[in-house]
Structure 1
Amino acid sequence: MIWTQCKLSEVATLIRGITFSKAEGVDSPEVGRVPVIRAGSIQKTLLVNDGQIWVPEEKVKPHQFIRKNDILMCTSSGSSDLVGKCAKSDANYDISFGAFCAGIRPDLKKVSPSYLYHFLNSPKFKNWTKKSSGANIKNIRASELAEFKIPLPPLDEQKRIAAILDKADAIRQKRKQAIELADEFLRSVFLNMFGDPVTNPKGWEICELKDCLDFLTSGSRGWAKYYTEEGSKFIRIQNVGKNKLLLNELAHVNAPVTREAERTRVKVNDVLLSITADLGRSAVVTEDLSGGYINQHLALLRVKTKKLEPQFLSALLSSKGALRQFKAKNKAAVKAGLNFDDIRTFEVYLPPLRTQAKYLSTYNATMKNLNSLRIQHDNAEAFFSSLSQKAFSGKL
């Protein structure tokens, strides 16, 4: 079977996004205006109803409306992880897209839209996007994208490959959805047991967090020189999610024997809290992380266990009600973060310990199932990645 290498511009039309000034965009529909989505709407699916800006209709040319099988790509962002991110449209929409995006409209006589979509999400293409130009803002130039060469078998073979990848992708997405449902279940359990932290409908006693802490500190800077392949675990902000640990990118350090290092050393049941970005991330230190260290973006809270169950506190700190408190305290908006006084004066409600313990029991049982789901998800991801590698090298 003959495979060819075709430039993207030979099998698809590249469409530039809409350029408009801040003054030209409004946040709600108006007669004579067209909705425009931005890069944030490019997720696993295309979120056409999220993040819309309405611009004068004369700004949008007919070919710039999103059509079925169009592939929308983020082509400019402050994050290299977002550049190259793609989503495929499942219908025609009277909606366009902004200048930080590009539309890729496949020629159906030459390329399968699903095949092209999977290739643009493949490791080969992702590796190329990571080399995109720009020191602070990462970009894919339209001219570079047009010249990028796509491995292309005959159309029937493209469709066969796309069908296999579609099925494998559906499996990994179902695994991901199951994990998300488990997370949502825990949030629902928390609200059912304890009520909304903002309104406190059950009338629990309220106090400031400082009354429930034995120790409070944050990580320090300067750990980069101690990074190593093995050694003590080093916990960074990306390892702390919404009431859970995320350990796929766990780092290691050869920690110095200093008071400063010892101060940031964690113990089992310490609660970790994000303090410089993504406020509302929290997690409880487990046995396998005990003795590790934290970086400057995390605070370490060691609770009085006669008042608070650590896992209850972590769930509380990750709640929407807690996020409202954090945002109110974060006077300089996103970048300033939280200081120790903000944490000490954070208001918590205090259900009876036996009630908190019931939540812990449910949490532990759910996490046991969740860990199994994550293993299945990781296996599905690895399987899909392997298929993708084979698919675009002619070995599938």
Structure 2
Amino acid sequence: MEVLDDVIAAARLVPLSEAVEVNPKIDRTALHDDLDVSFVPMAAVEALSGGIDVSTVRKYAGVKKGYTHFRDGDILFAKVTPCMENGKMAIARKLVNGVGFGSTEFHVLRPRAGVDARYIYYFVSSQTFRKEASGHMTGAVGLRRVPSTFLEEQLIPLPGIERQREIVAELEKQFSRLDEAVANLQRVKANLKRYKASILKDAVEGRLVPLEAELARREGRTFETGEQLLQRILEARRKEWKGRGKCKEPVAANTAGLTPMPSGWTWATIEQLTYLVTSGSRGWGDFYSDNGVLFIRAQDIKTDALNMTGLARVDVPVDAEGSRSSVNANDILVTITGANVTKSALVPMLSEPAFVSQHVALLKLTSSDTAAFVFNWLVSPANGRETLEKLAYGAGKPGLSLEQVRALPVALPPQAEQDRICEEIERRLSLVRGVESEVDANLKRAQALRQATLAKAFSERDQLC
């Protein structure tokens, strides 16, 4: 980094507006309605990497009003929270006909003569710059924006063009090494994800531990089969029925098209294994409180586990149905609407009352002993999750009905085999989580090193003030 220190030391500090034109006016003289142009929504710009997808093409007639204009070589700078804080900045390159239009939440920085676009990109995308920009945002909470005046007035060390290129070359040399390391770490994460999926698939299809039927045969003893376990659960369900009228028998699994079960296993449905499948009441969002009971939303189970950090709280409405949507240990939660649909959680022991939102299905198992296996079936990508995703994304807005959840087929092994399966799943996945934790820590270190490199590259500007 010595070359960067020497180069920056020789630079002069100027307002950013002397290096770039902020939000330049559009020159329409060469544009006509039938002209193909690139279209770049906010989602097309990656966070931190500088990646940008310019493959979407639209006619100029359809974008000439209501969108931000830019051209090849311009820097796009997300001005709105949280996109700016997340580092959504990029250099527009390879635009169709050299012209692009996109989200109005972009500021456009056009380098002036003698200024390298990459030098500007690295400066404004650095964590140091973004942190300062965040402190100057204006507007309402949740929709704050960086004003263009902030960009125009920020000081930037600006050496000559050749020296700018030296800095960029040095940064990119170091970043290429980092990018290679990050790519290797991402490959490890992808392999771990596939390994987890294979563990779950083998587990819930009877290939992870010895079958109870086989062990019983070897040991010359009898055992409770999955079918016998199901009948025991159904009998308990009838005895414990607290609804109106006579207990309605749940619908059995439609086995047409389902794979044959291992010896001693049977097919069941979620409805057969539960005494209640419900969801939270509507309108509880109006009762958020600092001191109420825990309120579990879809975002709290988006990792297939209940994240207790940042759980909302509500004051239970006086006329609420209360216990119907209350959550207890060994209940299963399934997201039924929104971007996280099918994401699930097995509820651990809770130290205080909790309820679910209307976007989360609550499954109460008749036998809590089956909860762990049923959960693993639900989240197995090749089994329960695959079926639920087909239902959720079949048509229109992603979503599941409670009837679809109740009718979901579930493989049911003998209880003793379920216990062994879940123990082995936990043993193997605990090892995976350890590796994942180390990979994530190294990814964070790589990102921190990248930001430290950028900070060092431009740090001398404070000494020159």
Q: Give the structure 2 partner of residue 312 of structure 1.
A: 377
User: Which letter maps to 1:250?
Assistant: G
Query: Does the Cα contact within 8 Å between 2:201 and 2:380 map onto a contact in 1?
Result: no
Amino acid at match of 2:392: F
The aligned runs of 1:1-396 (5 Å cut-off) are 1=9, 4-8=13-17, 10-11=19-20, 14=23, 33-44=36-47, 45=49, 46-48=51-53, 52-56=56-60, 64-67=70-73, 70-75=74-79, 80-82=81-83, 85-89=87-91, 92-94=94-96, 96-100=99-103, 101-107=106-112, 109-111=114-116, 113=118, 116-117=121-122, 119-122=124-127, 124-125=129-130, 128=133, 131-133=137-139, 143-144=148-149, 147-152=152-157, 154=159, 155=163, 158-159=167-168, 162-163=171-172, 166=175, 170=179, 175=185, 178-187=188-197, 190=200, 202-203=259-260, 207-218=268-279, 220-221=284-285, 224-226=288-290, 235-244=296-305, 250-251=310-311, 266-285=327-346, 293=354, 296=357, 297-303=359-365, 304=367, 305-306=369-370, 308-315=373-380, 319-328=385-394, 333=397, 338=400, 340-345=402-407, 347-350=408-411, 352=413, 354=417, 357=422, 362-381=428-447, 393-394=459-460
Contact 1:7–1:148 (CA under 8 A) maintained in structure 2: yes
Shift of 1:66: 3.7
Alpha-carbon distance in structure 1 between the residues aligned to 2:132 and 2:295 = 27
By how many angstroms is 1:264 displaced? 5.8
Partner of 1:29: none
Matched residue type, 1:92: K
Identity of aligned residues (%): 13
Displacement, 1:6?
1.9
Instruction: Measure how far apart 1:105 and its partner are.
Output: 4.2
SS in 2 for 1:225: strand
Give the direction of change, closer, same or farther, for the CA distance of 1:383–1:240 in structure 2 (3 Å limit).
Answer: farther
State the distance in 2 between where 1:8 and 1:270 align: 58
- In the TM superposition, residue 350 of structure 1 has moved relative to its aligned partner by 1.7
Residue 38 of structure 1 aligns with an amino acid whose one-letter code is: P
The amino acid of 1:183's aligned partner reads: K
Question: Is this contact kept in 1: 2:341–2:392, CA < 8 A?
Answer: yes
RMSD, aligned CA? 5.1
Once the two structures are superposed, residues 275-313 of structure 1 have per-residue CA deviations (whole angstroms, 9 ceiling, x without a partner) of 342242524347586657455243333444448432232
Kindly tell me: are residues 287 and 371 of structure 1, through their superposed partners in 2, closer, same or farther at Cα, counting changes over 3 Å?
A: farther
User: Per the alignment, do residues 116 and 272 of structure 1 end up closer, same or farther by CA in structure 2, a change over 3 Å counting?
Assistant: same
Q: 1:33 to 1:385 in 2, by over 3 A?
A: closer
Structure 1 stretch displaced more, 307-316 or 132-141: 132-141
* Structure 2 portions without partners, runs of 5+: 1-8, 206-255
Quick check: 1:132–1:139 contact (8 Å CA) kept in 2? yes
CA distance in 1 between counterparts of 2:270 and 2:27 reads 48
Larger Rg: 2
- 1:5-32 Cα offsets, whole Å, 9 max, x none, are 422463366467999xxxx89xxxxxx6
Query: C-alpha separation between the residues in 2 aligned to 1:176 and 1:386?
Result: 21
Distance 1:380 1:276, change over 3 A: same
Structure 2 distance, partners of 1:294, 1:222, is 14
Number of residue-to-residue matches in the alignment: 365
CA contact (8 A) 1:190 1:315 kept: yes
Conservation of the 8 A alpha-carbon contact between 1:273 and 1:282: yes
Deviation, 1:325, is 1.0
CA shift for structure 1 position 202: 3.2
One-letter identity of the residue aligned with 1:48:
D
Change (3 A) 1:179 1:134: same
What TM-score, normalized to structure 1?
A: 0.65
Instruction: Give the Cα–Cα distance (whole angstroms) in 1 for the partners of residues 274 and 155 of structure 2.
Output: 58
Name the CA shift for 1:13/1:162 in 2 (closer, same or farther; >3 Å). Answer: farther
Contact 1:266 1:285 (8 Å CA) reproduced:
no
